[in-house]
Homo-oligomer: A and B are copies of this chain.
């Protein structure tokens, strides 16, 4: 990997070959003015290549002379070898401030399921297993019933006990046995608890034991993801995601519940989510090149409302105080009976929920990420429209849903958008000139700003002293970037001619307020849970982020705004789709199904609206980063340092 050294501050970073230079700068924590998102239009990101060569990097914004002198546009240059790059700096003060302003970008380390560890620990034991058997044919002296012959053989030769043969299997068994001279493959469904009954759920003539697959599904409110898993190797053979067709009936769970209460509404929502799930199932089965009949198990996780709609259980009381779900546990359910396009013998294993707003997706995340069996005090946060948090370790678990609102997904933000092409995803600012450096997804002119970009914006502006701890802009600065429009103060991220939307893209104080409310809801929820168990933020040893948002969020910035407590970024991991991870895990190790019962029972749910201390914690968290800056000692040190530099 080529190394890039940025002067004057000698910040070094290694990047992938082909990386765009301006991204390398941002990752290294180096500010370069840039306001067109990386499309090369504004020409502000000119840098001097002192050593090495870049690919591309020229532009009509650079004269031939500039190019000959080694200038390039950082946003158009690709790193192909080791470089030394000099950033033009206006003044010494500027240089000093810029040097300390930005911390290198640091997202959470990705935590994946460790299949080898599962295997080493003997926990690679799918809930459904196939066994190839060569049975002795019956004789006059040995004319046991076919089912008894099968059960006895499994007992004697495979040490399988407490076997139950299901009726559909009894129906198939006599012919299946005789089709290949009493050589056959039996599919066994394992009990949750050892010593309970193992069900023989299918029989096939001959040896099909090496073709055994499962499907893991995350039933998201917005998107349904599924993976097809080879139960012999543990590998994911195919995966696919598709919008949940229920979206036509409402974007969030509350509007889905309202629809479900209408006559026929529940049946409709049940039918359409099944449609989507079946579409996804068909797709991954085709992609993996297997037969539907070879899928032996399906595991699913979703929030409480999605779970109830999937199971055709009316979610009416979920949205009404005191917010009571119909059930938190569900027994294994006949997949075909539910409407899933799978073989007759498949059961759907559905993750349990904790409460109306801490659902099976969160439980799956807690299981998949291993929070339930860690020694360390861990904070698990799944950020979507709602943020669900779980705090605890192998001994105890407390959880709550925080009404964070959609700010992290760009919702409720004037120019907010999802993390798609044209979204401003990174930002830095020159604290003296207030000129921004913006980078968009796809390096195109900006259309708006996504959640992770907004966090970086607010954190950077705050740390640079351009907004105060209440999220208000410094009104005293002489810059056209900070202005008042219709009584609302705002910062111009991009002038209209540098955007795709022909309007100035701004962040208003209302946007910032929304973000502060969102992060305040989450942080105060953590505080509240911890206080309820007699602990404090400082006790947190590990953070696990789940949900798409978590993969992009810059950890230092999230700590700066007070979204996350300040801990060593090495101790923050990202599990991606925790719901899918848990679903997959429970398709690979039956132990999860046993542990999940205990873990779910252990998860003490707090209804924050009913927890008296919550409101105080919330109000205290409506500052950047918090009323109590001492909870963020590293930030406090940086702010002190900045003040010293500026005052010098």
Contacts and interface: CB of A to CB of B under 8 A. Distances in A.
Interface SS, A side: loop
Interface string A321-347: 111111111110100000000000000
Interface stretch (A142-150, A379-387, A557-565): A142-150
Nearest to A146: B326
Contact of A326 (B174, B311, B312, B356): B174
Interface in A165-183: 165-167, 170-171, 173-175, 178
A568 to B, nearest CB: 37
A327 B170 contact: yes
Interface stretch (A133-141, A404-412, A637-645): A133-141
Copies in the complex: 2
A173 B610 CA distance: 25
A303 interface: no
A148 B322 contact: no
B313 A171 contact: yes
A19 B482 CA distance: 118
Given A171-B314, A311-B170, A327 B143 contact: no
A323 B166 CA distance: 22
A607 interface: yes
A330 B167 contact: yes
A170 B321 contact: no
B325 A145 contact: yes
A244 interface: no
A328 to B, nearest CB: 4
A165 B165 CA distance: 22
A316 interface: yes
Given A171-B313, A316-B174, A144 B324 contact: yes
A326 B165 CA distance: 11
A355 interface: yes
A333 B145 contact: no
A646 interface: no
A619 interface: no
Nearest to A311: B167
Contact of A322 (B140, B312, B330): B140
A138 B607 CA distance: 14
A604 to B, nearest CB: 12
B329 A139 contact: no
B148 A331 contact: no
Nearest to A142: B322
B170 A313 contact: yes
Contact of A140 (B138, B139, B321): B321
A220 B140 CA distance: 27
Given A167-B331, A333-B167, A145 B324 contact: yes
A433 to B, nearest CB: 53
A135 to B, nearest CB: 12
B324 A146 contact: yes
A170 B321 CA distance: 19
* Size bracket, chain A contacts: 35 or more
A317 B147 CA distance: 13
A148 B610 contact: no
A146 B327 contact: yes
A533 interface: no
A322 B165 contact: no
A327 B140 contact: no
A164 interface: yes
A165 B352 CA distance: 13
A355 B165 CA distance: 17
Contacts of A173: 326-327
A314 B174 contact: yes
B167 A328 contact: no
Contact of A148 (B144, B148, B171, B327): B327
Contact of A355 (B143, B175, B356): B143
B311 A140 contact: no
A7 to B, nearest CB: 61
A143 B322 contact: yes
A330 B330 CA distance: 24
Q: Of residues A143, A317, A323, which shows the largest number of chain B Cβ atoms within 10 Å of its Cβ?
A: A143
A327 B147 contact: yes
Nearest to A139: B322
Contact of A145 (B139, B142, B355): B355
B610 A140 contact: yes
A328 B173 CA distance: 13
Q: Which of A142, A164, A313, A356 is most buried by chain B, counting CB atoms within 10 A of its CB?
A: A313
Contacts of A170: 311, 313, 326-327, 330
Contacts of A323: 143
B147 A326 contact: yes
A164 B607 CA distance: 26
16 contacts: A140-B322, A143-B323, A145-B326, A147-B327, A147-B329, A148-B328, A148-B329, A164-B331, A165-B329, A166-B331, A167-B331, A167-B333, A171-B313, A171-B326, A173-B327, A174-B313
Question: 7 tightest A-B contacts by CB?
Answer: A147-B327, A143-B322, A170-B327, A145-B328, A145-B325, A140-B610, A140-B322
Given A164-B331, A165-B329, 18 more contacts: A139-B322, A140-B610, A141-B610, A143-B324, A143-B607, A145-B325, A145-B326, A145-B328, A147-B326, A147-B328, A148-B329, A165-B331, A167-B313, A170-B311, A170-B330, A171-B311, A174-B313, A178-B317
